[in-house]
Structure 1
Amino acid sequence: MKALIYDGPEQLGLRDAPEPVPDKGQQLIKILAVGICGSDMHAYLGHDNRRPAPLILGHEAAGVIVGGARDGERVTVNPLVTCGTCKACTSGKDNLCPERMIISMPPREGAFAQFVAMRDENLVTVPDHVSFDQACLAEPIACGWHTVRLARETLQEPATTALVIGGGAIGLGAALSLKAQGVAEVTIVEPNALRRATLNDACGQNAISPDDLDAAAMFDLVIDGVGYAATRKTASAHARPGGVIGHIGLGEDAGGLDIRRMTLQEITFIGTYTYTAQDFRDTARAIFDGRLGPLNWTEARPLSDGPAAFADIRAGATSAPKIVLHPHP
């Protein structure tokens, strides 16, 4: 099969790789759409030692099962594999399983390839009216869905206003999840003018530049989809007293939070990691039901254009919140 292989910082090569052989309880999936994630970008830039070269990256995938009793079934892939038996797994917090693994991290190759093997319980059937480009968005949007759910539960009262920091796919997914979960007023802060225009004109969002964020504006919930010191500073400045910050981004490890203000104003900070299996299923259902909108804001490219797509994202030269690669011609 053809695969896009990470060979080192800012080095990607399209070449032949062994086709995966599914184990018992697994299916072979012909990948028809796979999104480029921020974590893929971290690896591409050499910033993620959990993803050493050479490695097939990619974990936001959808496609068709090949062979067996489920041959031809359209599916989207939950890439997070957990043990299923530990306390975290049995209490509905399987994303915190100490044995969790995700495809695109050793020993599991990723989905920037023509085929992937995955166990049955990680596959969600996709109805015919949903495209594969839409279906592969279940993974990135589930991250925001999970964060919004936790933040709303922590607030313990109805949230009416929210600020989302970052207008990439994670931030946009969080904004869509906020609306789907009943938060009426959502503002996205996005510094890239090209992307900001897309958010406003094509995605139906209220996206503003950081300079246009009123210093006195306060929000029930703040979702940081970037995770840099500067964005955490913004988050802790704009969560209202008693508000909640949901932190998804992994841009850098430290700095930014105004701990004094957060302590005096009883602002809760929640770090979030991926999503539970139920969050993934709930997000997929919201996609299928149309509650997250048309999801027509992706840009599709063939897998062979992967290196150029990564370079364009690196340069901030693409307006689309998500580039989706097609591994098959």
Structure 2
Amino acid sequence: MKALVYEGVEHVAYRDMPDAAPQDAEHLIRVEAVGICGSDMHAYLGHDARRPAPLILGHEAAGVIVGGPRDGDRVTINPLVHCGTCTACQSGRVNICPNRQIISMPPREGAFAQYIAMPDRNLVTVPDDVPLAKAALAEPLAVSWHTARLGLEALHPAMDRRALVIGGGAIGLAAALALKAMGVSDVTITEPNDARRTYVASICPFNLRAETTETFPLVIDAVGFAATRQAASALVEPGGVIAHVGLGDGGGGLDIRRMTLQEITFIGTYTYTVEDFRQTASAIFDGRLGALDWIEMRPLSEGADAFRQLRNGSVAVPKIILTPWE
């Protein structure tokens, strides 16, 4: 099969790889759409030791089951494979399962390929009227759905339901959409990149700013650099909540003294639960997350160019979706 393979720092190559081989209780899936994620970029830049070269990256995927009792079923893929038996899994928190695996990390190859094998429980059926390119957004949208849900659950009931999202990329935009779907009508996004801010403003009715000095009860950091954590620390109201989902760098930025003196809650959020993923998929299918027309389709064979353009900041669209069969 053809695949886009990470071969070293800032080097991915489109080449032949061994065919995906389903194990027991797994299905073979013909991948029809797969998104480029920020974590793929971290690996591409050599910033993620969990993804050593050579490796097929990609974990935001949808496709069609080939063979077996579900042959022909259109599915979106939950890439997080959990053990199902540990305390975390038994309590529904599969995202912190100590034995979890995710495609695009060893031992599981990713979905920048024509085929992938996945367990049945990781597949959600996609209605015939939903394009698979939109269904592939279930994974990044579920990350943000999980963050928005945890942030709102932690917010004191006496506080206003207003939110700031730092970052207008795919995760930030998805967080804003999730907040809207959860009933938060007042959502502001800050995004310093002029082209990206203009693009997001053209597709979504959010308050878009390059920066702000206004404070908010809930702040979602969808970037995760020291500078954005510093901004989140300054812009959250006393008694408010910071939900941190970005993985830009590893440390610095938080004003721990202010957070302590003003009882600000900080929540680190990682991926999603099975229920979060299914709720997100349902919200995509019934239109609660909007038109989801902020994607750009490209052939998988041109994936190397897409990575280079994302690296140099010349892509305004929040999400590039690769198609392995063009």
Indicate the residue corresponding to 1:27 in structure 2. Answer: 27
Question: Which amino acid in 1 is paired with 2:163?
Answer: A
1:38 is aligned to 2:38: yes
Question: Which amino acid in 2 is paired with 1:112?
Answer: F
Whole-Å separation in 2 of the counterparts to 1:293 and 1:52:
36
Cα drift, residue 178 of structure 1: 0.5
Whole-Å separation in 2 of the counterparts to 1:70 and 1:263:
53
Whole-Å separation in 1 of the counterparts to 2:263 and 2:123:
40
Indicate the residue corresponding to 1:320 in structure 2. Answer: 317
Whole-Å separation in 1 of the counterparts to 2:106 and 2:204:
35
Indicate the residue corresponding to 2:185 in structure 1. Answer: 184
Whole-Å separation in 1 of the counterparts to 2:144 and 2:29:
25
Question: Partner of 2:290: helix, strand, or coil?
Answer: coil
Whole-Å separation in 1 of the counterparts to 2:197 and 2:133:
21
Cα drift, residue 200 of structure 1: 0.4
Question: Partner of 1:146: helix, strand, or coil?
Answer: helix
Question: Partner of 1:89: helix, strand, or coil?
Answer: helix
Match of 1:292 among 281, 289, 293: 289
Indicate the residue corresponding to 2:83 in structure 1. Answer: 83
Indicate the residue corresponding to 2:247 in structure 1. Answer: 250
Cα drift, residue 112 of structure 1: 0.2
1:307 is aligned to 2:308: no
Question: Which amino acid in 2 is paired with 1:36?
Answer: I
- What percent identity do the matched residue pairs reach? 65
Which whole-Å deviations, capped at 9, do the CAs of 1:251-306 have from their partners, x for residues lacking one?
11111011111111111000011000110000000000100000000000000110
**Structural mapping, 1:111-126, within 5 Å:** 111-126=111-126
**Contact 1:226 / 1:249 at 8 angstroms: preserved in 2?**
yes
Whole-Å separation in 2 of the counterparts to 1:184 and 1:263:
29
Indicate the residue corresponding to 1:221 in structure 2. Answer: 218
Whole-Å separation in 1 of the counterparts to 2:258 and 2:18:
54
Indicate the residue corresponding to 1:151 in structure 2. Answer: 151
Cα drift, residue 156 of structure 1: 3.7
Question: Which amino acid in 2 is paired with 1:165?
Answer: I
**Contact 1:112 / 1:303 at 8 angstroms: preserved in 2?**
yes
Question: Partner of 1:233: helix, strand, or coil?
Answer: helix
Whole-Å separation in 2 of the counterparts to 1:194 and 1:128:
34
Whole-Å separation in 2 of the counterparts to 1:152 and 1:307:
38
Whole-Å separation in 2 of the counterparts to 1:191 and 1:84:
42
1:279 is aligned to 2:276: yes
**Structural mapping, 1:129-168, within 5 Å:** 129-157=129-157, 159-168=160-169
**Contact 2:218 / 2:242 at 8 angstroms: preserved in 1?**
yes
Whole-Å separation in 2 of the counterparts to 1:239 and 1:62:
37
**Structural mapping, 1:185-204, within 5 Å:** 185-204=186-205
Question: Which amino acid in 2 is paired with 1:174?
Answer: A
Cα drift, residue 159 of structure 1: 4.6
Indicate the residue corresponding to 1:174 in structure 2. Answer: 175
Question: Which amino acid in 2 is paired with 1:325?
Answer: L
Report the RMSD for the aligned CA atoms in angstroms. 0.9
Whole-Å separation in 2 of the counterparts to 1:182 and 1:30:
36
Question: Partner of 2:58: helix, strand, or coil?
Answer: coil
Question: Which amino acid in 2 is paired with 1:139?
Answer: E
Q: Calculate the TM-score normalised by the size of structure 1.
A: 0.97
Q: Calculate the TM-score normalised by the size of structure 2.
A: 0.98
**Contact 1:165 / 1:188 at 8 angstroms: preserved in 2?**
yes
Cα drift, residue 316 of structure 1: 1.0
Match of 2:256 among 234, 249, 259: 259
Aligned length: 325
**Contact 2:156 / 2:240 at 8 angstroms: preserved in 1?**
no
**Contact 2:163 / 2:220 at 8 angstroms: preserved in 1?**
yes
Question: Partner of 2:117: helix, strand, or coil?
Answer: strand
Question: Which amino acid in 1 is paired with 2:196?
Answer: R
Question: Which amino acid in 2 is paired with 1:38?
Answer: G
Whole-Å separation in 2 of the counterparts to 1:260 and 1:130:
48
Question: Partner of 1:129: helix, strand, or coil?
Answer: coil
Whole-Å separation in 2 of the counterparts to 1:159 and 1:195:
28
Which whole-Å deviations, capped at 9, do the CAs of 1:139-186 have from their partners, x for residues lacking one?
001111001111111114265210001111111110000100111110
Whole-Å separation in 1 of the counterparts to 2:205 and 2:324:
30
Whole-Å separation in 1 of the counterparts to 2:30 and 2:172:
29
Whole-Å separation in 2 of the counterparts to 1:159 and 1:11:
47
